[in-house]
């Protein structure tokens, strides 16, 4: 620039623009910071282009058969992993349904409960909408085959029961007539 303008004019221009550096490009002035930013952008774009060209070159060396084999391998892996995941989900759902169904059943022992659940799992009854189809029939049949595995709930006939609570509240007496009256023996 000094050569174009001469020393005197160059010093005047430099005084006017201060510390800013300018780059002359075909007669147009561009601030150096903008030039540096554009240059950095160009370098990044060039790096991306080089990476894309490298990938394209490596892919062009792979035969279509190799690509198809790799696609098939990934598809097989996906199918296998998906099946394993679905099987695990079905197993957990079955466990939850069985746990829910057996929660209120009164078994005679923990081993009776384990045996019942084991036999139920072997039956592999179908589950739909969170319900096990055929469970009630299975339970009825199992109770007929192994009644000892369950605790029978005793039904009390309340009409014949005697309330003994009043005996302890009454004053002790020498004569038993009061107790006989409470017991309904008189």
pTM for the predicted model, two decimal places = 0.45
Domain boundaries, the chain: 2-60, 65-149
Element (H, E) at 138: helix 135-145
Q: DSSP letters of 74-127? A: HHHHHHHHHHHHHHHHHHHHHHHHHHHHHTT--BSSHHHHHHHHHHHHHHT--E
For the chain (186 residues), the mean pLDDT of every run of 10, in chain order, is: 77 75 59 79 90 85 84 89 87 86 89 92 87 90 89 61 51 56 61
pLDDT in tens, 9-57: 878 877 777 666 655 555 566 667 777 888 888 899 999 999 988 888 8
Contact 21, 30 (CB under 8 A): no
The token duo for 120 is 């139920």
Give the whole-angstrom CA distance, residue 20 versus residue 32.
Answer: 8
pLDDT of residue 19: 66
Give the whole-angstrom CA distance, residue 116 versus residue 127.
Answer: 18
């Amino acid at each position: 620039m000094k050569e174009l303008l001469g020393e005197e004019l160059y010093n005047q221009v430099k005084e006017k623009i201060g510390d800013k550096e300018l780059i002359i490009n075909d007669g147009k002035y561009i601030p150096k910071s903008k030039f540096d930013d554009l240059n950095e952008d160009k370098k990044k774009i060039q790096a991306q282009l080089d990476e894309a060209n490298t990938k394209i070159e490596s892919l062009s060396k792979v035969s279509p058969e190799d690509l198809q084999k790799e696609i098939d391998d990934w598809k097989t892996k996906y199918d296998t992993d998906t099946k394993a995941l679905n099987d695990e989900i079905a197993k957990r759902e079955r466990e939850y349904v069985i746990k829910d169904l057996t929660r209120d059943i009164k078994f005679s022992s923990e081993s009776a409960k384990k045996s019942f659940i084991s036999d139920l799992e072997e039956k592999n009854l179908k589950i739909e909408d969170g319900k096990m189809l055929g469970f009630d029939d299975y339970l009825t049949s199992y109770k007929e085959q192994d009644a000892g595995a369950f605790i029978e709930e005793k039904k009390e006939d309340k009409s014949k029961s005697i309330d003994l609570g009043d005996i302890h509240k009454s004053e002790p007496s020498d004569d038993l007539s009061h107790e006989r009256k409470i017991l309904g023996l008189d």
